[in-house]
Structure 1
Amino acid sequence: MAASVSLFASPHSWIESDAVAQCHQVAALDGMEHVAGMPDLHPGKGAPIGAAMLSSVLYPLLVGSDIGCGIAVFPIALKKPVPEKLAARFPDLDVPVAPEPGEDIPAGYTDGLGTVGRGNHFVELARVQTAFAERAGLRERDLVLIVHSGSRGLGERILREHTEVHGAGPAADPETYLKAHDEAVRWGSLNRRLLAERVALALGAEPAEPIVDQCHNLVEVVDGSKYLHRKGAAPGDGKDVLIAGTRGTPSYVVATHAGREAGWSVAHGAGRKMSRADALKRGKAKHTVEELRRTPVGSYVVCGDRQLLFEEAPTAYKRIEQVIADLVTHGLATPVAVTVPVVTYKTAEPKRRR
C-alpha cells in the first residue's frame, strides 16, 4: 500500500503534474510512510524537489548529490553602499581557497573549498526592506549576505559511491551512509561561512557569524528509527529560515511551525517554473544579456556565464509571494522579514578572472 501524500499549495499555485506524479512514485517505495509536497514543488532527477519524505527505509537518492545544500544569512555593515561599485568588488568565487593550517575540514575534502557552484547557487548582498519584528538581529534597511551553496563534489562522491552499487535502492548500511552524509552537511555549512567571509572582506567589511543557517538537502532520524528525507525542503520545526526568491524578487525570512503532516518542513525557495532548456529558449526571445544583468528591483547580477543568466532568469521561477502565502495559509510559517537584492553573484566575469 502506497504512503499518503499531502500537497501544501493552493489552486492558484503553479505545480506541474510531473512533480505530483513523482511524489506518488516515491510514496510507492518500500517503507515509505508519508510524502509532503511544498508550494515550491517541481520535478527533479529521480525524486521531487520541494518535498519531505518520511520512511522506515533510508534512500540516498531522495536526498540527492548536493547533500548539505542550504541557505545562510550573515549581517554585513557597509558605509554608503553603491550597488554598481560593490558588484565590481565581488571576488571570483569559482576559485577555491586553501584551508588554514590545522583547520577542521569535514572528511578532509578540500576540492572546491570556498566556491559557490553553478545552477541555482548564489551569494547575494541584500537589504532588509521590511522587518515585521526585530528578529534574529534584522532591522529595516540593514544589509545582509545571503549564501546558497552545498557540499560541492563531496556530496556528489557520496551519492555516486552508493548508486554505483545499489542504484536507486536503499542504503545497505544506513549508519555508514549517515556518517558520510553528516560530514557533507558540516562541509556545506563551513563552505557558506567561507563564502560569506570572502565576500565581506572583499567589500571592506568584517566577517560575521550567521544569524540563519539551515540545510534543505539532508536526511534526519526522527521518532527513533524513521528517516525524514528533505529534498529542497527546509526544516520547519521552529527554526527561522530564509526562503529565497529570485535575483529580481524579494526573499523572506520566516518563523516556522510545521507539523508532522508537512514533514516538519517548509519550502526552500520560489521553485522552478520552467526547465533550464525552456528558460534558455524563451529568455533569448524576450531579453538581452544586458537586460538580465539589471533586475526589476534595480539590483545588479554578476554572472559571466550567459547561458546561466537565461536559465536562472526570474521568469523561470514561481512567484515567491504565492509560495509564502501558501505556507501562511497552511499554518506552516510566518514572515518576519523581507530582503531585496542589491547584488547577486552567480559566476565571475571572464575579464575579471585571475
Structure 2
Amino acid sequence: MLPASGPATISVFASPTSWIESDAHTQCRQVAALDGMIHVAAMPDLHPGKGAPIGAAMTSRVLYPFLVGSDIGCGIAVFPIRLKRPVPEKLAARFPDLDRPLHPEHDADDPAWTVVSGEIPAGHVEGLGTVGRGNHFVELARIGAVLDPTHAGRLGLAAGDLVLVVHTGSRGLGEQILREHTERHGAGPAPDPQAYLARHDEAVRWGALNRRLLAARVAYALGAAPTEPVVDQCHNLVEVRDGSYLHRKGAAPGDGRDVLIAGTRGTPSYLVAAHAGPEANYSVAHGAGRKMSRADALCRGRAKHTVEELRRTPVGSLVVCGDRQLLFEEAPGAYKRIEQVIDDLVEHRLATPIATTVPLVTYKTADLAVGSRRDERRRRGRR
C-alpha cells in the first residue's frame, strides 16, 4: 500500500522484487489526489504514462477522460486459426499490409468485410483494418504450455493449436474524442459524463470491430477462414460500477474474465482466468509493461543489436516491421519479464494462468521491401 496525499487509497499488486519506476509511483499519488478519487490499484506492469500511470485501475466519483487516454477501447483479442504448415518464414511473407486501411466503398469486395454486421460505430470509416504503431501488433502464435487443462478445455484450446493475437484500439476515433475534450477542459473532468460515455462506448465498439477486421484480413491472407475470438478484452476504458467511475489505463477487466496478458515479440504471452476483487478494482495487468523509455530502448538497442538480429527473436519467431526505429523501441529487452508479472498476479490471487502463447510471426508495420520482393515473384510467375 502506497501513502496517498488525499483521502483516496493506493494498492500496488507487485512483489518487492518487481521493478517499478519511482515516476510511476509518483503518478499514482498524483491521481489519488484528484478531486473525487476513491482508490487506485496499480498492477505489476505499472509504468509512467503521459500524465497518468499505465497499468492502473482508478475509481472515482468524477469521470476524468485523460485517465483513459486517447486509445479508448484498446485491447487484445485471441482468434483460433487453422493452418496446415505453419512455417514462419513463408507465413511472414504472406501477411497483408495492415497499414493500408479498408474502405467500405473502395474495398467493398474484400472478404474481410464478412465479419462485419450492422453499422460501423460512429460512422467512422477512417483507419479501419489497420493495426497502428507503438506497442500494437498482430501475431500468429501457437499454444505452448497448458497450465490449467480445465480452463483451456473450456476455451477449446490445446497445446500446439494456432491463434491470432490482435492488439489494437480505436485509432483516430479515440484520439478525436480525447482531443475535443482536452481542447476545452484540459485534464479536468467531463462536464457531461453521459455525453462522453456515449462517444466512449462507440470507440470501444469500434476497437472490437477493428480487431475482428484485422484477424479476418490476416486469416484470409494465410489461406484460412476467420473465426470468432475466444478472448477479447479491452484495457483502456471507463466503466460505471457501483455508482462510481472505474477508469482503466493499461489494465484489463479482471472480474471473472479470460484475458491475454501480452509478453513481448520474443517471449510467451499468458492466457489467464482473472478473478480480481474490489481492492484491485476488479482488474489485472495487460502486459509485461515497459522498463525502458522509447528513447532509452532506441539508444541501448542500437549499441547492442543490428536490425537483422531484431527481426529474429529469441524464441525463433519472425518480426514483420519496416520501421527500423520501432524495431528497437519495441525490442523484448525494453519490457519487464512477463513471468514476474504473472507471478505477482498469482501471488496476489488475481488470476490463474491457463496457457502460454508462443510467437511465430509478429506484425508491427509493413515491410515494404518484403512486399516488393513478393510482388516481383508474382510478376515472374505470370510470365
State the TM-score, normalized to the length of structure 1. Answer: 0.98
CA separation in 2, counterparts of 1:103 and 1:82? 36
Per the alignment, residue 31 of structure 1 pairs with 36
1:114 aligned to 129, 143, 156, which one?
Answer: 129
CA separation in 1, counterparts of 2:256 and 2:311? 36
2:235 aligned to 204, 209, 216, which one?
Answer: 216
CA separation in 1, counterparts of 2:103 and 2:220? 16
| Secondary structure of 1:239's aligned partner | strand
CA separation in 1, counterparts of 2:130 and 2:264? 20
Per the alignment, residue 147 of structure 1 pairs with 166
Equivalence map 1:186-265=2 (5 Å): 186-223=205-242, 225-265=243-283
Asked if residue 54 in structure 1 is aligned to residue 54 in structure 2, the reply is no
After TM superposition, the runs of 4+ consecutive aligned structure 1 residues lying more than 3 A away are 100-103
| Secondary structure of 2:296's aligned partner | helix
Aligned residues of 2:103 and 2:126 also touching (Cα < 8 A): no
Give deviations 1:185-208, integer Å, cap 9, x for gaps: 000000000000000000000000
Per the alignment, residue 167 of structure 1 pairs with 186
Please state how far the C-alpha of 1:81 moved relative to its aligned partner: 1.1
CA separation in 1, counterparts of 2:28 and 2:310? 34
Give deviations 1:202-256, integer Å, cap 9, x for gaps: 0000000000000000000000x20000000000000100000000000000001
Letter in 1 for 2:126: D
Aligned residues of 1:65 and 1:159 also touching (Cα < 8 A): yes
The aligned length equals 353
Please state how far the C-alpha of 1:103 moved relative to its aligned partner: 4.7
| Secondary structure of 2:255's aligned partner | coil
Asked if residue 182 in structure 1 is aligned to residue 201 in structure 2, the reply is yes
CA separation in 2, counterparts of 1:270 and 1:31? 30
Please tell me whether Structure 1 or Structure 2 has the larger radius of gyration of its CA atoms: 2
Give deviations 1:243-289, integer Å, cap 9, x for gaps: 00000000000001100010100000000000000000000000000
Aligned residues of 1:40 and 1:271 also touching (Cα < 8 A): yes
Asked if residue 300 in structure 1 is aligned to residue 318 in structure 2, the reply is yes
Please state how far the C-alpha of 1:2 moved relative to its aligned partner: 3.4
Please state how far the C-alpha of 1:80 moved relative to its aligned partner: 1.4
Aligned residues of 1:91 and 1:199 also touching (Cα < 8 A): yes
CA separation in 2, counterparts of 1:210 and 1:172? 36
CA separation in 2, counterparts of 1:324 and 1:199? 29
Aligned residues of 2:67 and 2:249 also touching (Cα < 8 A): yes
2:13 aligned to 8, 24, 36, which one?
Answer: 8
Please state how far the C-alpha of 1:135 moved relative to its aligned partner: 3.2
Letter in 1 for 2:355: A
CA separation in 1, counterparts of 2:123 and 2:204? 13
Letter in 2 for 1:24: R
Aligned residues of 2:266 and 2:315 also touching (Cα < 8 A): yes
CA separation in 2, counterparts of 1:137 and 1:93? 28
Per the alignment, residue 379 of structure 2 pairs with none
Asked if residue 333 in structure 1 is aligned to residue 351 in structure 2, the reply is yes
| Secondary structure of 1:242's aligned partner | strand
Per the alignment, residue 287 of structure 2 pairs with 269
Aligned residues of 2:75 and 2:234 also touching (Cα < 8 A): yes
Please state how far the C-alpha of 1:14 moved relative to its aligned partner: 1.2
Please state how far the C-alpha of 1:104 moved relative to its aligned partner: 1.1
Aligned residues of 1:2 and 1:29 also touching (Cα < 8 A): no
Asked if residue 158 in structure 1 is aligned to residue 177 in structure 2, the reply is yes
Per the alignment, residue 85 of structure 1 pairs with 90
Give deviations 1:297-332, integer Å, cap 9, x for gaps: 000000000000000000000000000000000000
CA separation in 1, counterparts of 2:204 and 2:354? 26
| Secondary structure of 1:238's aligned partner | strand
Per the alignment, residue 141 of structure 2 pairs with 126
Aligned residues of 2:8 and 2:32 also touching (Cα < 8 A): yes
CA separation in 2, counterparts of 1:235 and 1:202? 32
Letter in 1 for 2:136: H
Aligned residues of 1:41 and 1:49 also touching (Cα < 8 A): yes
CA separation in 1, counterparts of 2:175 and 2:155? 33
Aligned residues of 2:138 and 2:166 also touching (Cα < 8 A): yes
Larger mean CA deviation between 155-164 and 129-138 belongs to 129-138
CA separation in 2, counterparts of 1:205 and 1:17? 46
Letter in 1 for 2:98: L
Give deviations 1:53-99, integer Å, cap 9, x for gaps: 00000000000000000000000000011110000000000000022
Identity %: 78
Aligned residues of 1:135 and 1:336 also touching (Cα < 8 A): no
CA separation in 2, counterparts of 1:11 and 1:135? 34
